Amino acid sequence: DSSVLVGAAAEILGAINVLAVTVAAPLVPAADHSDASEAACNAGVEHMIIHTGDELLDNFVFRENPPDRCYHCKQLIFNEIFNAAQARGIQYVCDGTNVDDLQQYRPGLKALKEMGVISPLAAAGLTKDDVRELAKTYAPNVAVKPSMACLATRIPHGVAITKEALDRIDKAESRLRAEGFGQLRVRDHQGLARVELPAALLKDGLSADRIQLLSRILHESGFTYATIDLDGYRTGSMEVHV
């Protein structure tokens, strides 16, 4: 979504008037960093990377992973972005929130509103499907990329967020996608992996070899136990009790 926003902003405002900002933190899948750089390069805009990993994980409230974790995370991240914008004399800070995001449990949206972040895609009434269509023009490198979310969403509320947990989640998901397991999530229940796989994959069934491969990848990534969620992939499965 942010990549489409950068491409559209560069076209409308002129690339010289746009600064793309990526927050590099353990919460973001490693592949997202390179995708963001490529999108900024394709749009011809300057790309700034802000490293906030230690700040986030050192923040007690965020680390304890309360139900409104996203609110505290957005406050920390966008405070850094606003500082960078102020230093450059930039008046407006925008993000890639779309209309579909507004229908989900996202406490971070409250922080964005309080801080004055503008969400042009949502203001234009664009859905996730609309954004994917626009990505073919404005961000072709991510047009068919599976939806991603902050890695902290893989950890149950009330369980502390650690770099070790984030690393094993990222490692496992990256390897499973590379092996063709498709759109998935690896939920981390304190060392037990609950893998949400695409419904079609569950319907067709997994061969013994594929199950063995999945199990091996999870163990090699640092998980003690490996399980498959029979309900399959869906967003917000960690929010059912919120």
The CA distance from 21 to 7, in Å, is 13
Return the pLDDT at 24: 87
Domain ranges of the chain: 2-142, 151-239
171 in Cβ contact with 205 (< 8 Å): no
The CA distance from 77 to 22, in Å, is 10
CATH class of 151-239: alpha beta
The CA distance from 82 to 11, in Å, is 23
238 in Cβ contact with 187 (< 8 Å): yes
What element of type H or E holds 192?
strand 192-196
Return the pLDDT at 242: 57
79 in Cβ contact with 183 (< 8 Å): no
Assign a CATH topology to domain 2-142.
Rossmann fold (3.40.50)
Q: At 38, which amino acid appears?
A: E
Return the pLDDT at 56: 85
Q: What does pTM read for this prediction?
A: 0.88
Q: Residue 194, CB half-sphere, CA atoms under 13 Å: how many?
A: 16
- DSSP letter for 207, please: -
Return the pLDDT at 64: 96
Between CA 157 and CA 162, with CA 159 as vertex, the angle to 5 degrees is 120
103 in Cβ contact with 141 (< 8 Å): no
Return the pLDDT at 241: 59
pLDDT in tens, the chain (242 residues): 899 999 999 999 999 999 999 988 888 887 788 889 999 999 999 999 998 867 888 999 999 999 999 999 999 999 999 999 999 999 999 999 999 999 888 899 999 999 999 999 999 999 999 999 999 998 888 877 777 789 999 999 999 999 999 999 999 999 999 999 989 999 999 999 999 999 999 998 999 999 999 999 999 999 999 999 999 998 878 776 55
Return the pLDDT at 149: 84
User: Is there a common fold for 2-142 and 151-239?
Assistant: no
